[in-house]
Each structure stands twice: as structure tokens, then as C-alpha cells.
Amino acid sequence: MELAVSIRKLSKKYGDFLALDNINLDIEEGKLFAILGPNGAGKTTLLRILTTQFEPTAGEAFVLGKNVVNQSEGLRKLISYVPQEMSVWTDISGYENLLIYSKIYGLPTATRKDSIKDSLELMDLTDVANNLVSTYSGGMIRKLELACAIMIKPKILFLDEPTIGLDPATRKTIWEKLKALNRESGMDVFFSTHYMDEADNYADEIGIINRGKLIKVASPDELKRSVGYDRIEIETDSELSKHALADLKKLNGVKKVELEGNEVMISAKDSAALLDVIIECLLANKVHVKKISARQPTIDDVFLKYAGAKESKKAPVQLADVKRFRDRIRRG
């Protein structure tokens, strides 16, 4: 099978700063590939190199068998890229944006109108095609950017945080469309995201990058299995005493116990078998359990294990998302 992406010992420096550090990666054709990593990990830098916008400092990268440095011209005809920042003009209509892109990409005049019509339909934008983009919502703008990228029928679509700041329903619609294009037209998708559920639900393979190093590449299921431990979460009516904590740690099968106020998080081998024992242990320590739940590892746990940080769903990250999304619109 041909490789969609093949990267060998690739590094990128900005001045003295090593943004990508000796990356090796092969991705087979036909896949949806997600790259996950904390802010500043190197995702955008990698996407920019693969889409021929930046040259690596060392090593090589091939996309569809073409070298991204010395075969970049031929390669650009086969790929599309939707950047993290906004990439459409807001003072003209959606239709006019697509028309400009169709000319930039050199789509044949005879089929141009049909290509634009198909892309608008695909992204549910037909009804608003003639409205100014400045009147679009964030989700509509992202769909228009995707319509522009998909119009040329790329062999690989590179997306940098394609759904940032969008509501869950719009994110789902966009992903279902991309998945259908992947399955029906064989379009590969290489995307970065901070949404763990997107990587889990839609990617065939996930790569985890941290501080410029590619730490792990595997399918979502393999990654979750590699965490090795289930998570048991307990809410108690009071903070655990040192004695109770020590008792929990001693239980057979318990790997790790963490405390956060009245919440106890336990990593354990076989959570189902342990629940009763844990409750008994807490009762013996006169701790009242308000809530207890057990679950298999999620991609959040994977992220925690390999990138050393949890992608918080709480306010700070959402605020950062909104700020970055606003910056995108302002730049447009």
C-alpha cells in the first residue's frame, strides 16, 4: 500500500528553538489521522511542513510519495489545507470566495460552476451562498473554508483545528461529512485537534506530540488499551484521612490513588471487581460515599499518560478557544 505521509528524522528549528525533534511517521493511504498535543507542541509547524509552506531544518518528509521540499509544486496540486486562522474573505459572499479559490486552483472553466455548486451543497451553504461572509456564524465560516478546500477534490486534506469554537452539533455535522468523503472518495484527512472526542470518534490513527517529539502513534483503541488501568472516581462527604488513603493504596489491584478535595481518583486493573472492596474500605474508615463510578480509559487518560497534561474541559481552555476564534475572525 502507498503511503499518504512518510516522515524521516524530521526536525524544525525557529532560531535556536527546536519546534520539531526527530519525527518519524508513516501513514497509509485511506486514513483519517489525528495529531494531538498541548499548545505549542508543534502541530501547526508539522502541518505547515507537510503542506510545503515551511522547510524542515533536517530530515525529510514525503506526501503521496512526493518530497515536500523539492517536489512541492506537483504536491500542491494534490492537497488542500485549512489553516488554524481564518482563510476566507469576509467582505464578499460565500459564492465569490469559492469562485476566487476555483481560479487560484485552476479548476477548468467548463466545470467550475458545477464544482462550486457541489461544494456549497455538501457543506449545506447553498441558501446563504450569496450573502456576505461577514454575516455568517463561526460554524458557517468554517464550513465555507472546508468547501473551498474540498472543491478541488484533494487526495489529502490537511486541517489545523478544524472545529475550534464550534458547537457540538456543528462539529458532528462537519465530521460526518469529512468521514463520508474519506470512505466514499478515498480522501485522506490529516488533522490537529484539542477535542479528544473528535480524535476518538473519527480518527483511524492518532499521533501524540509533546514539545516537538512524536511520543506515540496508534489507533484510538490501542492507545486506550495502552493506558492499562481503569479509572474509578469517588465523591465522598469529607476529605479522606491519611489513614483511609493508606488503606486504599494497600488494596490489591489498586495502582494509584489521587485526591482532589472530596474527590478520590483511583487507577486500577479491574475496576468492576474492586468497587465493593473500595466501598467497604471507605466505610471501615467512616467515610460516606456520595457517588462512585468506574470507567475504561478514555483518550483524555491517554493524553494525560503521554503528554503529561489533561485537556481540561473547564473554563480556561474554553476561554482560550473563544479568544483564538475571535482572533481568527478579526484577522479576516
Ligand X SMILES: Nc1ncnc2c1ncn2[C@@H]1O[C@H](COP(=O)(O)OP(=O)(O)OP(=O)(O)O)[C@@H](O)[C@H]1O
By C-beta, is 14 or 24 nearer to ligand X? 14
**Residue 164 interaction partner, one of Mg ion, ligand X, none, beta carbon < 5-8 Å per kind:** none
CB of 163 to ligand X, least distance (A): 14
- What is the smallest separation between the CB atom of 47 and Mg ion, expressed in angstroms? 8
User: Given the complex with ligand X, which of 115 and 210 has the nearer CB atom?
Assistant: 210
Q: Does 328 bind ligand X (CB under 6 A)?
A: no
236 binds, among Mg ion, ligand X, none (CB under 5 to 8 A by kind): none
Q: What value does the CA radius of gyration of the chain take, rounded to a whole number of Å?
A: 23
The full 3-state SS of the chain, as one line of letters, equals: CCEEEEEEEEEEEECCEEEEEEEEEEEECCCEEEEECCCCCCHHHHHHHHCCCCCCCEEEEEECCEECCCCHHHHHCCEEEECCCCCCCCCCEHHHHHHHHHHHCCCCHHHHHHHHHHHHHHCCCHHHCCCEHHHCCHHHHHHHHHHHHHCCCCCEEEEECCCCCCCHHHHHHHHHHHHHHHHHHCCEEEEECCCHHHHHHHCCEEEEEECCEEEEEECHHHHHHHHCCEEEEEEECCCCCHHHHHHHHHCCCEEEEEEECCEEEEEECCHHHHHHHHHHHHHHCCCCEEEEEEECCCHHHHHHHHHCCCCCCCHHHHHHHHHHHHHHHHHC
Question: Which residues, including other chains, have CB under 8 Å from residue 83's CB and lie 6 or more apart?
Answer: 44, 160
* Beta carbon nearer to ligand X, 152 or 299: 299
Which parts of 83-142 interact with Mg ion (CB under 5 A)? 84
Check binding of 163 to Mg ion (CB under 5 A). Answer: no
Q: x/- string (CB under 6 A) for ligand X, residues 17-56?
A: x-x-----------------x-xxxxxxx-----------
- Residue 6 binds ligand X (CB under 6 A): no
Task: Report residue 108 as a C-alpha cell.
Answer: 477548468
- Residue 47 or 98: which CB sits closer to ligand X? 47
Instruction: Please give the Cα distance from 26 to 6 (Å, whole number).
Output: 4
Q: Is 162 near ligand X (CB under 6 A)? A: no
Does residue 44 touch Mg ion according to CB under 5 A? yes
- Of the pair 14, 327, the CB lying nearest ligand X is at 14
Q: Determine, following the binding rule CB under 6 A, whether residue 207 of this chain makes contact with ligand X.
A: no
Residues between 72 and 91 with contacts to ligand X, criterion CB under 6 A: 84
- Cβ-based nearer residue to ligand X, 253 or 332: 332
- Provide the minimum distance between the beta carbon of 161 and Mg ion in the complex, in angstroms, as a whole number: 6
Q: Which residue is nearest to Mg ion (CB)?
A: 44
Question: Which of ligand X, Mg ion, none does residue 241 bind to, with CB < 5 to 8 Å depending on kind?
Answer: none
Q: Cβ of residue 44: shortest distance to Mg ion, in angstroms?
A: 3
How many residues lie near Mg ion (CB under 5 A)?
A: 3
Site size toward ligand X, by CB under 6 A = 12
Binding site for ligand X (CB under 6 A): 14, 17, 19, 37, 39-45, 84
Binding site for Mg ion (CB under 5 A): 43-44, 84
